[in-house]
């Protein structure tokens, strides 16, 4: 269906509200609706939406959906409700946030819908159809989304309201989120390819996905908005691929050892069931295919710069002086032989000072005299060593293992080199720190570009130390650091379990 034919469909100009209008899908939808002559209001809390997605002609309003009645007092003709939390695995770490956005927020939207009697187009999650229907219970995200589709249908039955429910299937294309814990698979692979990094695949890699281009998704949404009635409008590609298949498309014949397998994650569904019969009955047809899109990307991509697959790590102690946190670090390094790690650490003891490197891809740089007091010198001597190393090598990012003396050196080095800093917290008891230590911790975590907590409780405490969680920033190496933190946490938890 062409864009011109939609102009005929939308003869009557409407007032249309798009929740989540500053997001990847929402902003494209807003732009198309404005192009077609409608009055468009966007309501977005900018949790994952971005002002960079703004376009002319849209009334951009900031706020959460729980306040929709106050923020959008107009009588609108159509509500496109896209403004919900939308990441499966990350939702396991922040169920309270999922509840606020997907349950409390959506209830307010439905009450707004009931008060106005307009049409609602709800963006459900296709995850509820996966794994024989078991996908709906995989995570807080999948459960709330599946429950919301039922609530939308019930509201329609109870109050005689018009609605349509759509389902997206791994939407990709220019503008998708490429950084941080809310990034998408295709965007991650693109970033890793641009930067010459290994492609990171969550095990087992055989999990199947359907990938739908953003332009096809928008055309489907427009059709459903005008013609759709009731449920089951799946907007998805006909073909499906395993995650490993997609990684191999990006490699384009290069060695498969450039793929790094990450541990399995909770909430990771294995199948993807696509039913596009109802949207196709409205005239929708898939126009863009993933394989062709990746080929075009590989032809046009230019690496931002020629970087080594190299990471600079700061750890107060390292092999042979190590606890579980340092042992997990060493296991991660062994799991990634194609990446070179430089470790800046305190000499700490005569034994450690002269110890050889435990792995071929690890170079250890010990500073100090070989005494336990070396850790106090590490913030200064380690930063000097890092400055020397940064002049000789091009690093993807800096990694501070535990928020302690080694990470103080990492902060000084980061300010000099202007590279992202990942800080992993392991099992540090943040909630019970004394006042002086809390002040130091607030300073350290405030300098991080990504914070890797071992569990949701620790993550919440860390967020309070710095006011708001600072995960990825839009800088080279962020995507790889974001993936590596999952590998480290899974490795550490395995060691903790084995040690009782």
Same structural domain for residues 74 and 162? yes
Closest-CA residue to 93 (of 460, 449, 431, 424): 460
pLDDT in tens, 457-489: 777 777 666 554 444 343 446 667 776 777 888
Average pLDDT in the 179-207 region? 80
pLDDT at 229 over 80: yes
Q: Does 305 map to a domain?
A: no
pLDDT value of position 165:
96
By residue range, what is the domain housing residue 445?
Answer: 310-498
pLDDT at 9 over 60: no
Q: Are 88 and 182 in contact (CB under 8 A)?
A: no
Burial of 53 (0-12, 13-18, 19+ CB in 10 A): buried
CA dihedral 44, 46, 52, 56 (to 10 degrees): 20
The CATH number of the domain holding residue 274 is: 3.40.50.720
Same structural domain for residues 45 and 126? yes
- Return d(Cα 345, Cα 202) in angstroms, integer: 30
pLDDT at 434 over 80: no
121 φ, ψ (degrees, to nearest 5): -110, 115
Q: Are 202 and 159 in contact (CB under 8 A)?
A: no
For 203, what's the count of Cα atoms within 13 Å in the CB-facing half-sphere?
A: 8
Q: Are 425 and 469 in contact (CB under 8 A)?
A: no
The CATH number of the domain holding residue 477 is: 3.40.50.2000
Beta bridge partners of 81: 19, 122
Last residue of a domain, one of 260, 278, 300: 300
Last residue of a domain, one of 248, 277, 300: 300
Mean pLDDT for all residues in the chain: 85
Q: Are 49 and 23 in contact (CB under 8 A)?
A: yes
The fraction of the chain above a pLDDT of 90, given in percent, is: 47
The fraction of the chain above a pLDDT of 70, given in percent, is: 86
Helix (H, G, I), strand (E, B) or coil at 449: coil
Q: Residue 392 — pLDDT band, cuts 50, 70, 90? A: confident
Highest mean pLDDT among 118-127, 178-187, 424-433 belongs to 118-127
Same structural domain for residues 215 and 322? no
Alpha helix ranges (H) inside 252-364 = 277-281, 290-300, 324-335, 350-353
Q: Does 133 map to a domain?
A: yes
pLDDT at 3 over 50: no
DSSP state string for 51-73: GGG--TTEEEEES-GGGHHHH--
pLDDT value of position 302:
63
Helix (H, G, I), strand (E, B) or coil at 202: strand
Beta bridge partners of 183: none
- Return d(Cα 373, Cα 68) in angstroms, integer: 58
CA distances from 383 to 215, 369, 412 (A): 48, 16, 6
Helix (H, G, I), strand (E, B) or coil at 345: strand
Q: Angle at CA 30, nearest 5°, toward 28 and 36?
A: 105
DSSP state string for 472-486: --SSTTHHHHHHHHH
Same structural domain for residues 355 and 267? no
Helix (H, G, I), strand (E, B) or coil at 224: helix
Alpha helix ranges (H) inside 239-342 = 243-251, 277-281, 290-300, 324-335
pLDDT at 308 over 70: no
Highest mean pLDDT among 273-287, 461-475, 483-497 belongs to 273-287
Maximal CA-CA distance, the chain: 82
pLDDT value of position 174:
86
What token pair was written down for 38? Answer: 């409608």
pLDDT at 263 over 80: no
Q: Classify strands 230-235 and 163-168 as parallel, antiparallel or unpaired.
A: parallel
Residues 6 or more apart whose CB falls under 8 angstroms from that of 424 comprise 325, 399, 400, 401, 402, 452, 485, 488, 489
Same structural domain for residues 323 and 290? no
Helix (H) or strand (E) holding 452: strand 450-452
Helix (H, G, I), strand (E, B) or coil at 84: coil
- Return d(Cα 196, Cα 127) in angstroms, integer: 32
pLDDT value of position 469:
41
pLDDT at 220 over 70: yes
**Domains of the chain: total:** 2
Last residue of a domain, one of 269, 300, 331: 300
pLDDT value of position 476:
47
Q: Are 158 and 6 in contact (CB under 8 A)?
A: no
pLDDT value of position 93:
78
Q: Does 140 map to a domain?
A: yes
Same structural domain for residues 295 and 410? no
Taking the CB of residue 160, how many other CB atoms lie within 10 A of it?
9
- Return d(Cα 156, Cα 122) in angstroms, integer: 12
Q: Are 149 and 231 in contact (CB under 8 A)?
A: yes
Q: Residue 293 — pLDDT band, cuts 50, 70, 90? A: very high
Same structural domain for residues 222 and 360? no
What token pair was written down for 231? Answer: 């449920």
Residues 6 or more apart whose CB falls under 8 angstroms from that of 277 comprise none
- Return d(Cα 278, Cα 208) in angstroms, integer: 22
- Return d(Cα 114, Cα 120) in angstroms, integer: 10
Residues 6 or more apart whose CB falls under 8 angstroms from that of 140 comprise 91, 92, 95, 98, 99
- Return d(Cα 217, Cα 251) in angstroms, integer: 26
Same structural domain for residues 290 and 334? no
Same structural domain for residues 154 and 10? yes
- Of the listed ranges 24-38, 236-250, 482-496, the least confidently predicted one is 482-496
Helix (H, G, I), strand (E, B) or coil at 400: strand
Regarding pTM above 0.75, the answer is no
Same structural domain for residues 195 and 260? yes
Helix (H, G, I), strand (E, B) or coil at 193: helix
Same structural domain for residues 173 and 70? yes
Q: Does 359 map to a domain?
A: yes
Same structural domain for residues 72 and 45? yes
């Amino acid at each position: 269906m062409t864009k011109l034919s939609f102009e005929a469909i939308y003869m009557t100009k409407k007032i249309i509200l798009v929740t989540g209008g500053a997001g990847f899908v929402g902003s494209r939808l807003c732009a198309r609706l404005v192009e077609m002559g409608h009055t468009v209001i966007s309501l977005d809390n900018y949790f994952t939406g971005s002002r960079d997605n703004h376009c002319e002609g849209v009334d951009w309003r900031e706020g959460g959906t729980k306040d929709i009645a106050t923020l959008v007092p107009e009588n609108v003709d159509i509500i496109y409700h896209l403004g919900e939390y939308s990441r499966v695995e990350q939702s396991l770490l922040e169920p309270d946030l999922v509840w606020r956005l997907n349950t409390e927020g959506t209830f307010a939207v439905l009450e707004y819908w009931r008060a106005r009697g307009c049409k609602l187009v709800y963006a459900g999650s296709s995850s509820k159809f996966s794994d024989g229907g078991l996908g709906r219970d995989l995570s807080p995200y999948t459960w709330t989304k599946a429950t919301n589709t039922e609530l939308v249908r019930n509201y329609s039955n109870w109050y005689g309201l018009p609605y349509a429910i759509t389902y997206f299937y791994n939407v990709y294309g220019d503008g998708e989120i490429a950084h941080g814990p809310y990034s998408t698979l295709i965007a991650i692979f693109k970033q890793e390819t641009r930067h010459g990094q290994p492609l990171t695949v969550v095990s087992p890699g055989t999990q199947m996905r359907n990938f739908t281009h953003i332009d096809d998704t928008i055309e489907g949404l427009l059709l459903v908005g005008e013609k759709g009635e009731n449920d089951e409008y799946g907007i998805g590609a006909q073909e499906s691929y395993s995650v490993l298949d997609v990684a191999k498309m990006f490699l384009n014949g290069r060695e498969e050892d450039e793929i790094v397998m990450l541990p399995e994650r909770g909430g990771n569904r294995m199948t993807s069931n696509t039913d596009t019969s109802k949207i196709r009955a409205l005239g929708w047809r898939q126009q863009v295919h993933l394989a062709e899109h990746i080929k075009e990307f590989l032809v046009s991509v230019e690496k931002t710069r020629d970087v080594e697959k190299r990471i600079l790590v700061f750890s107060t102690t390292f092999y042979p002086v190590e606890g579980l946190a340092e042992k997990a670090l060493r296991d991660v390094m062994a799991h990634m032989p194609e990446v070179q790690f430089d470790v800046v650490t305190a000499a700490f003891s005569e034994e450690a000072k002269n110890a050889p490197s435990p792995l071929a891809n690890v170079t250890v740089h010990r500073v100090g005299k070989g005494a336990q007091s070396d850790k106090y010198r590490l913030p200064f001597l380690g930063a000097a060593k890092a400055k020397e190393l940064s002049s000789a090598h091009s690093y993807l990012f800096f990694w501070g293992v535990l928020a302690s003396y080694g990470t103080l050196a990492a902060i000084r080095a980061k300010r000099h080199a202007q590279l992202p800093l990942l800080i992993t917290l392991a099992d540090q008891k943040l909630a019970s720190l004394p006042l002086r230590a809390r002040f130091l911790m607030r300073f350290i975590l405030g300098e991080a570009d990504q914070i890797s907590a071992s569990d949701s409780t620790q993550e919440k405490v860390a967020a309070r130390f710095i006011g708001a969680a600072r995960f990825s920033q839009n800088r080279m190496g962020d995507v790889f650091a974001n993936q590596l933190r999952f590998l480290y946490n899974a490795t550490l938890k395995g060691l903790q379990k084995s040690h009782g």
